[in-house]
Amino acid sequence: MIASRFAANLDWLYPGLPYLDRIDAARTDGFSRVELLFAHLENRQALRARLGGLSVALVNAPAGDWAQGERGLAALPGREAEFRAHAQQGFELAQQVGAPVVHLLSGIAEDSAATRATWLDNLAWAAAQAPAGLTLTVEPINRRDMPGYFLHRQAQALELLSLLASPRVKLQLDLYHCRIAEGGESLSHLARALDLGVLGHVQVAGVQGRHEPEPAEYAAELALLAERGWDGCVGLEYKPRADTTAGLAWLR
pLDDT tens-digit series, residues 48-64: 999 998 999 999 999 99
Burial annotation 31-44 (CB, 10 A radius, 16+ → b, else e): bbbbbbbebbebee
Q: Report how far residue 166's alpha carbon sits from residue 170's, in angstroms, rounded to the nearest whole number.
A: 8
pLDDT tens-digit series, residues 151-181: 999 999 999 999 999 999 999 999 999 999 9
Percent of the chain predicted with pLDDT > 90: 96
- What structural domains does the chain harbor? 6-250 (3.20.20.150)
The per-residue pLDDT of the chain, averaged, comes to 97
Of the candidates 179, 178, 160, the residue with the CA atom closest to the CA atom of residue 170: 160
Q: Identify whether the C-beta of residue 39 lies closer than 8 Å to the C-beta of residue 47.
A: yes
pLDDT tens-digit series, residues 193-248: 999 999 999 999 999 999 999 999 999 999 999 999 999 999 999 999 999 999 99
pLDDT at residue number 19: 96
Q: How far is CA 68 from CA 59, 89, 164, 181, in A?
A: 21, 20, 30, 24
How many helices, marked H, and strands, marked E, lie in the chain?
9, 8
Q: Report how far residue 171's alpha carbon sits from residue 200's, in angstroms, rounded to the nearest whole number.
A: 5
Q: Which of 35, 139, 212, 221 is catalytic?
A: 139
pLDDT at residue number 15: 97
Q: Which of 35, 212, 217, 237 is catalytic?
A: 237
Residue 42 designated active-site: no
Q: How far is CA 202 from the centre of its chain?
A: 7
What would the mean pLDDT of 21-46 be, rounded to a whole number?
Answer: 95
Provide the pLDDT confidence category of residue 122 given band limits of 50, 70 and 90: very high
Contacts of 161 (CB under 8 A, 6+ apart): 138, 169, 170, 171, 198
Strand partners, 252: none
pLDDT at residue number 2: 81
Whether 91 has a pLDDT exceeding 70, the answer reads yes
Whether 4 has a pLDDT exceeding 80, the answer reads yes
Residue 237 designated active-site: yes
Give the SS3 label for residue 200.
strand
pLDDT at residue number 1: 59
Whether 252 has a pLDDT exceeding 90, the answer reads no
